[in-house]
């Protein structure tokens, strides 16, 4: 059976050229970048090369890039790093209820330690109103964190407008751009952000590596103490192969970003339209137009997302019912609930996230298979019976 992978927001397959670029750093070029000998310096040079590539893709300077173990660490570093470095100025942080758990849980951690967190409202599409950000800022506000685009519903937030407001107020601004870097153009100056999180495995790079962009002059404390790596901002021997892989992945992404976004948006729209035509009582979650080119998130009435997911899997189609991190728990997604969906609709949600290897034939296959699955499940559904 042909496998159709439509879960690229959870992770992407590592690009073969990325794997190739990484391999020598496990074998011949295995040196420790902190070593002064040539073996070490070769590894160090490779890290610096990757740093330049990451910086280039987002319009930053290479010294503003700190490599991390992934998006989760980058988010934690931004939130906790800024909070503890600036607590003498205030204890107030502004965020949204639709952030990834890496931001949400870091905020809850800080809340338990005396910081005050404001969770801004979002509209039914998951959009933050920049004016709500403006109203929430107080003399005590030290940080605003609003994600660039939602990993669940694909809504692209008005980060540029929020950045302008944050800058006028003199408040640091962080954005989790894990789902956008490498997928749509991202420029830290245009977005007016001070901190920005990146993850390798969401852009055809390896897992366990990411980066935090930190604008020059931003005050943040380190979370890792030890050696002098990353200019003493993040101690620990660098994961050289993974960093090299991230550098290669951003280089490849940068080459084809507009063309690929256009191709995926076409496939996305075909899937949204086809599902709407073939399945009744279905609705699109997230913003209809301000949306990631690869994201389709729908709620199907009278069926459980998990049942659809398992039936699709039997047909070789990989999708998701929410963020991968929470897919082991059968609780409705906090993002869909924040958008105002009743729990039963949140439970009936399905997310398809498209990627580089997907073709029109993949979309046609989903459009052939899913309506039949929904009909079958509805025929057995107690949810439908209670409705009748
Ligand atoms: N932020 C967002 C928006 C994500 O989608 C993810 C991964 O699902 C993360 C952060 C965490 O990134 P990582 O898996 O690299 O820790």
Pocket mutation for ligand 1, best pick of 79, 151, 155 (most atoms within 8 Å of C-beta): 151
Q: Report the pLDDT value the prediction gives residue 101, as an integer from 0 to 100.
A: 96
Partners of residue 299 on adjacent β-strands:
283, 349
Q: Is 179 in the pocket of ligand 1 (CB under 6 A)?
A: yes
* Each residue's pLDDT tens digit, 60-106: 999 999 999 999 999 999 999 999 999 999 999 999 999 999 999 99
Q: Report the pLDDT value the prediction gives residue 386, as an integer from 0 to 100.
A: 56
Contact 126, 339 (CB under 8 A): yes
Residue 322 has pLDDT above 80, yes or no: no
Upper half-sphere CA count for residue 19 (Cβ side, 13 Å): 5
Higher-confidence position of 345 and 152 = 152
Q: Whose CA is nearest to atom 9 of ligand 1?
A: 71
Dihedral sign for Cα atoms in the order 116, 335, 287, 14? positive
Smallest CA-to-CA distance from 155 within 338, 345, 357 is with 338
Q: Is 212 in the pocket of ligand 1 (CB under 6 A)?
A: no
HEC states along 2-67?
CCEECECCCCCCCCHHHHHHHHHHCCCCCCCCCCCCHHHHHHHHHHHHHHHHHHHHHCCCHHHEEE
Q: Is 14 in the pocket of ligand 1 (CB under 6 A)?
A: no
Q: Is 178 in the pocket of ligand 1 (CB under 6 A)?
A: yes
Cα of 254 from ligand 1 centre, angstroms = 20
Smallest CA-to-CA distance from 150 within 308, 356, 294, 359 is with 294
Q: Report the pLDDT value the prediction gives residue 324, as an integer from 0 to 100.
A: 47
Residues annotated as part of the active site: 325
Residue 334 has pLDDT above 70, yes or no: yes
Q: What structural domains and CATH numbers belong to the chain?
A: 4-10+257-385 (3.90.1150.10), 16-252 (3.40.640.10)
Q: Whose CA is nearest to atom 14 of ligand 1?
A: 71
- The confidence band for 325, taking pLDDT boundaries of 50, 70 and 90, is very low
* Each residue's pLDDT tens digit, 8-36: 999 999 999 999 999 999 999 999 999 99
């Amino acid at each position: 059976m042909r496998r159709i992978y439509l879960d690229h927001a959870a992770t992407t397959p590592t690009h073969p050229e990325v794997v190739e670029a990484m391999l020598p750093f496990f074998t011949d070029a295995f040196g420790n970048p902190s070593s002064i000998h040539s073996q070490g310096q070769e590894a160090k040079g490779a890290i610096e090369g990757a740093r330049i590539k990451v910086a280039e893709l987002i319009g930053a300077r290479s010294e503003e890039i700190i490599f991390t173990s992934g998006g989760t660490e980058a988010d934690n570093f931004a939130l906790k790093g800024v909070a503890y470095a600036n607590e003498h100025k205030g204890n107030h942080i502004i965020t949204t209820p639709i952030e990834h758990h890496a931001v949400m849980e870091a905020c809850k951690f800080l809340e338990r330690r005396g910081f005050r967190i404001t969770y801004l409202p979002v509209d039914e599409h998951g959009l933050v109103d920049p004016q709500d950000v403006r109203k929430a800022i107080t003399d005590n506000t030290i940080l605003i964190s609003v994600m660039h685009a939602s990993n669940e519903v694909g809504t692209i937030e008005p980060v540029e407008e929020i950045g302008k407001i944050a800058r006028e107020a003199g408040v640091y601004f962080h954005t989790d751009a894990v789902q956008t870097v490498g997928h749509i153009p991202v420029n830290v100056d245009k977005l007016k952000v001070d901190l920005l999180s990146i993850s390798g495995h969401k852009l055809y790079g390896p897992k366990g590596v990411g980066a935090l962009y930190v604008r020059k002059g931003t005050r943040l404390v380190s979370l890792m103490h030890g050696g002098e790596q990353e200019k003493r901002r993040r101690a620990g021997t660098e994961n050289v192969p993974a960093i090299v892989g991230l550098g290669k992945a951003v280089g490849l992404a940068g080459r084809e970003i507009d063309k690929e976004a256009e191709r995926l948006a076409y496939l996305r729209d075909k899937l949204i339209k086809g599902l709407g035509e073939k399945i009744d009582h279905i609705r699109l979650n997230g913003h209809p137009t301000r949306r990631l080119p690869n994201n389709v998130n729908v709620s199907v009435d009278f069926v459980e997302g998990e049942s659809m997911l398992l039936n699709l899997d039997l047909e070789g189609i990989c999708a998701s019912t929410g963020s991968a991190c929470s897919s082991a728990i059968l609780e409705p997604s906090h993002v869909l609930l924040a958008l105002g969906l009743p729990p039963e609709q949140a439970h009936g949600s399905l997310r398809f996230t498209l990627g580089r290897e997907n073709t029109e034939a993949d979309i046609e296959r989903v459009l052939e298979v899913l309506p039949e699955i929904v009909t079958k499940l509805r025929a057995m559904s107690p949810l439908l019976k209670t409705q009748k």
